[in-house]
Structure 1
Amino acid sequence: MKTRQCVGSPGKTRPRGPRGFKGEKGDASDTSVLMNQLDILKNKVERMEKIPEVALQYCLMGMKSGAIPSSSISASTNHNAKHEAKHGRLDRNSGVGAWCPLSTTVGQWMQVDLGSPQLINATVTQGRVQHGSAAYWVETYKVACGITDVHLSTITEGGKDKIFQGNTDTTTKVIGWFPEPMTCRYVRLYPQTWQNFMCLRMDILKANCPRKSTERT
């Protein structure tokens, strides 16, 4: 004999009760925390490297870009045709990749004619492009500027000729800030000390270039 089951009609649906409190979020794994920290650090480094470089390009007067013609770049002497002053442009690799004088003696100089008096803020230097083990750069230098190349005044600080800190390798761009902006048409660099041989590449910064935007190069 089959047993019959009594099935009543469905009951009425009642209103939904209030939602319970949300549980606490579990701890992230050590790996995910580390990856997040690395991503944050990477983004910070990229911003530090890219933003100042863009600002620096905006501030340069024209040695790197070529806006300053080779006829406006001169020197006391040149080691040879491949080391003429026209090869001393920032980031350039023409000739042998820098200006180098005939002899490494204090008093040699490299000069840029801006074409007209300009308000400028700093110089930027690099060493010579490295070829094999030969590494040359200027460690310290003085700067003279003026409206004519006959009457140049050496930049001073505290009543003495300012010694600008130059390079410590062949590639890094180092900014030599003036104590205050100067109005110059001619800008002349006098190397004072150097690594192996007196060689450099350079450019000049406009006076409206803020220091904070170019602290890292």
Structure 2
Amino acid sequence: MAMKILLVIALVILVVNNACCQIPNVYDFCTALLSDNREGSVSSVCNQCQGIPGKRGPKGSPGPQGPKGDHGAASTATQDLEARVEQLEERILFLQRITKNSPEKDNICSLGLKNGSIPNSAMTSSTEWSSSWAAHEGRLEGARCWIAHGSGKIGDWIQVDFGDYKSVSGVVTQGRPGTTQWVKSYKLSCGKEMNEFDWIEENGIVKVFPANTDANTKIYNKLPSPVVCRYFRLYPQSWNAHISMRMDLLRGDCHMYY
């Protein structure tokens, strides 16, 4: 009799409990009920049960758009591309200013000896006649010039330190103004370090460049191809009376204009 009463109670609770959880069968439910040491009630059983999930409801309408986030940091590739575009724009502006027959060509293409943007301290020489005829006096169109000590010798040189890597495409020279002193030929070398100079060659042979035949005419010599260096040296190979000269150097991107 007690068992029947128990089964009836279990069935009643099972019907109520179906609203809270899913029990596979009466036996499992009763086992779970009898093994619960706490005060049995519908609510306590429901609290321990979890029903089978129902079907997914219909999709709701989209919510309002959230605020726009901050821009992320530009990638390295983007920064490199922007820098390259800026360089190309500067290059186009430069080319627009110059043509092969432009009277301003020499000024535009100068690397700074003539106009003084290269400081005196950046121009040195192996020897000098005196401080009045030092290397920094050897600027194109200057009132003075560089004069080597004595009448000069093979191995004397005049050097420019750009302070950083520069591209060089050519050299312009003059002699000592108002005299019969000038350099007739020279060799050139280019160095990225003070102890690492390379001769300017053509077809694998160190090139000897022809230079002046008077004191004032500008003689232009274009390199076989532009070179990049920090230190640039000129070595006189032959001269008239003394090694006396003025000079300027030309930008690498002016190579096609001479």
- TM score, norm. by length of structure 1: 0.70
Q: Structure 1 segments of 4 or more deviating over 2 A?
A: 50-53
Corresponding position: 1:88 with 2:138: yes
Match of 1:129 among 177, 202, 205: 177
Deviation (angstroms), 1:153: 0.7
Question: Which runs of structure 2 are paired with 1:13-162 in the superposition (5 Å)?
Answer: 51-93=101-143, 97-103=144-150, 104-130=152-178, 134-162=179-207
Deviation (angstroms), 1:53: 3.5
Corresponding position: 1:180 with 2:230: no
Q: State the SS of the aligned residue for 2:105.
A: helix
Measured in 1, the distance between the counterparts of 2:195 and 2:169 equals: 21
Corresponding position: 1:163 with 2:208: yes
2:170–2:255 CA contact under 8 A, matched in 1: no
Measured in 2, the distance between the counterparts of 1:125 and 1:209 equals: 17
Measured in 2, the distance between the counterparts of 1:184 and 1:170 equals: 29
Q: State the SS of the aligned residue for 1:71.
A: helix
2:176–2:246 CA contact under 8 A, matched in 1: yes
Cα 1:135–1:52 change in 2 (3 A) is: farther
Q: Over aligned residue pairs, what C-alpha RMSD do you find?
A: 1.4
Larger Rg: 2
Q: State the SS of the aligned residue for 1:79.
A: coil
Q: State the SS of the aligned residue for 2:108.
A: helix
Deviation (angstroms), 1:52: 4.2
Measured in 2, the distance between the counterparts of 1:210 and 1:109 equals: 24
**Aligned-partner residue type, residue 140 of structure 2:** L
2:182–2:215 CA contact under 8 A, matched in 1: yes
Q: Structure 1: any 5+ residue segments left out of the alignment? A: 1-49
Measured in 2, the distance between the counterparts of 1:138 and 1:200 equals: 6
Structure with higher helix content: 2
Q: State the SS of the aligned residue for 1:57.
A: helix
Q: What is the CA deviation profile of residues 106-139 of structure 1, one whole-angstrom value per residue up to 9, with x for unaligned ones?
A: 0000000111001110111111111xxx311101
Q: Structure 2: any 5+ residue segments left out of the alignment? A: 1-99
